[in-house]
Amino acid sequence: MTVIDADRAEGLRLLRESAGAISPRGGSLAAVRALRDSETGFDRAVLAEMGGLGWLGLRVPDASGGAGLGVAELCALAEEMGHGLRPEPLVAIATIAAPLVPEPDVLAGRRVLLPAWAERPHTLDPFGDTIATSDEAGVRLSGRKLAVPMAAGADGFLVTAREGETPIVALVERSAPGVALTTASTVDGGHLGTLSLDDAPARRVASDASALVARLLDEASVATAAELLGLMERAFAITLDYLGTRHQFGRPIGSFQALQHRAADLKIQLELARAAVGHAASMCDTDAPAERRAAAVSLAKARASDAAMLITRQAIQLHGAIGYTDEADIGLFLRRAMALATSFGTATAHRRRYAACAPPLDLDA
């Protein structure tokens, strides 16, 4: 893992502080509650505010109108968004849409493009059965993409497909002929879209895209792990505060040794996830070999997903009966963890990839 120098560490601190304008630490979750089960699932005005702050173009080079910053900076922002449970698709746009289509409206958040890459559960292969065929205007797409988060709020989709044996990425407008979108609600009040394409006209944005898409999806995965890290950190802090204020038998329940042991175990899982996310971000930033990067990213995503589910479930139990009510904020963290844990690959899919990519142990060393 690379050591972040003092100047970059200060930049990361300032970036985290700037996030308070949208997702203040310890702030009210009333706005997030109001967005649950809405048509888009997120606030486009807030997304435009993110664009105005330069967040959506954070991974876009300076020459293309972006900030040209690294994955560590993106993870810092994603972690802060996790603290506030913000539902805007910052990660999907900053890691995939903006680098592929660095147009001013996309970078400013006025035009929402979302990646549509998944075709089968528990697999990380972005190039499956979706077919692209060339025509005079560009390409036409036929196939189906699953589990597109917040798809109803998109103006267009960046679709991975195969043109013969060549992996490509093409941009299809939501309103284009041959495009059908259905959505299903998720437990956090958002939704997942299924995108069906029947000879839909599209614009090619990348060819021979296998290595490029693999890198972008890795960055999206580690940023999602960072978002989970922020989520579980705040859920843990809320729970510790509750253990210190809730009294039973004349004492704070946090003074009971059994609960202290449970809290200590959760803290260990939180810090292990933090270390894994930091290592994966540094592997992305240092242009490590693809297999080493993939192994580090999959380790981080699987660990963060599992830790977030453990910590948020335990948090609800440690709150007692009130934790199970919808009025209690702690339940929002479990619901969001359930949605993010499957975003950009489930823990199962990432464990399988880690097993395939991790270097073998040298037992004789």
CATH number, domain with residue 224: 1.20.140.10
Judgement on whether residues 217 and 353 belong to the same structural domain of the protein: yes
Judgement on whether residues 44 and 120 belong to the same structural domain of the protein: no
Residue 182 has pLDDT above 60, yes or no: yes
Give a yes or no: residue 249 inside a domain: yes
Judgement on whether residues 250 and 319 belong to the same structural domain of the protein: yes
Using pLDDT thresholds of 50, 70 and 90, give the confidence band for residue 3.
low
**What's the mean pLDDT when you consider all of the chain?**
94
Judgement on whether residues 188 and 227 belong to the same structural domain of the protein: no
Based on its alpha-carbon atoms, the radius of gyration of the chain, rounded to whole angstroms, reads 21
Judgement on whether residues 20 and 89 belong to the same structural domain of the protein: yes
Give a yes or no: residue 84 inside a domain: yes
Q: What is each CA distance from 150 to 98, 176, 333, in whole angstroms? A: 17, 18, 18
Judgement on whether residues 286 and 336 belong to the same structural domain of the protein: yes
- Percent of the residues in the chain that have a pLDDT greater than 70, as a whole number: 98
pLDDT per residue over 313-359, tens digit each?
999 999 998 899 999 999 999 999 999 999 999 999 999 999 999 87
Judgement on whether residues 307 and 219 belong to the same structural domain of the protein: yes
Tokens of 124: 């990380």
Judgement on whether residues 217 and 271 belong to the same structural domain of the protein: yes
Helix pair 210-245, 71-84: axis angle to 10 deg: 40
Judgement on whether residues 159 and 215 belong to the same structural domain of the protein: no
Local structure of 190: helix, strand or coil: coil
Domain residue limits at 282: 211-357
Instruction: Tell me the CATH number at 26.
Output: 1.10.540.10
Closest CA to 94 of 127, 121, 124, 69: 69
Give the chain's domain count: 3
Give a yes or no: residue 362 inside a domain: no
Using pLDDT thresholds of 50, 70 and 90, give the confidence band for residue 215.
very high
pLDDT per residue over 217-236, tens digit each?
999 999 999 999 999 999 99
- Domain termination site, one of 56, 91, 112: 112
Give a yes or no: residue 364 inside a domain: no
Local structure of 28: helix, strand or coil: coil
The one-letter amino acid at 236: F
Contact between 98 and 59 under an 8 Å Cβ cutoff? The reply is: yes
Local structure of 195: helix, strand or coil: strand
Contact between 315 and 264 under an 8 Å Cβ cutoff? The reply is: no
Give a yes or no: residue 80 inside a domain: yes
Tell me what pLDDT residue 151 has: 98
Give a yes or no: residue 197 inside a domain: yes
Judgement on whether residues 201 and 221 belong to the same structural domain of the protein: no
Local structure of 260: helix, strand or coil: helix
pLDDT per residue over 25-61, tens digit each?
889 999 999 999 999 999 999 999 999 999 999 999 9
Give a yes or no: residue 95 inside a domain: yes
pLDDT per residue over 234-272, tens digit each?
999 999 999 988 877 778 877 788 889 999 999 999 999
Contact between 181 and 194 under an 8 Å Cβ cutoff? The reply is: yes
- Domain termination site, one of 93, 112, 131: 112
Judgement on whether residues 60 and 132 belong to the same structural domain of the protein: no
Local structure of 200: helix, strand or coil: strand
Burial pattern 323-359, b for ≥16 Cβ within 10 A else e, equals beeeebbbbbbbbbbbbbbbbbbbbebbbbbbeebee
- Percent of the residues in the chain that have a pLDDT greater than 90, as a whole number: 85
Give a yes or no: residue 363 inside a domain: no
Tell me what pLDDT residue 1 has: 42
- Domain termination site, one of 169, 188, 207: 207
The pTM (predicted TM-score) of the whole model is 0.95
Residues 6+ apart with CB under 8 A from 243: 252, 253, 254, 259, 263, 318
What is the CB neighbour count within 10 angstroms for residue 100?
20
What one-character-per-residue DSSP string does 120-182 give?
Answer: STT---S-SS-EEEEETTEEEEEEEEEEEETGGG-SEEEEEEEETTEEEEEEEETTSTTEEEE
Residue 23 has pLDDT above 80, yes or no: yes
Tell me what pLDDT residue 338 has: 97
Judgement on whether residues 349 and 277 belong to the same structural domain of the protein: yes
Instruction: Tell me the CATH number at 168.
Output: 2.40.110.10
CA distance 123 to 35: 30
Local structure of 57: helix, strand or coil: coil
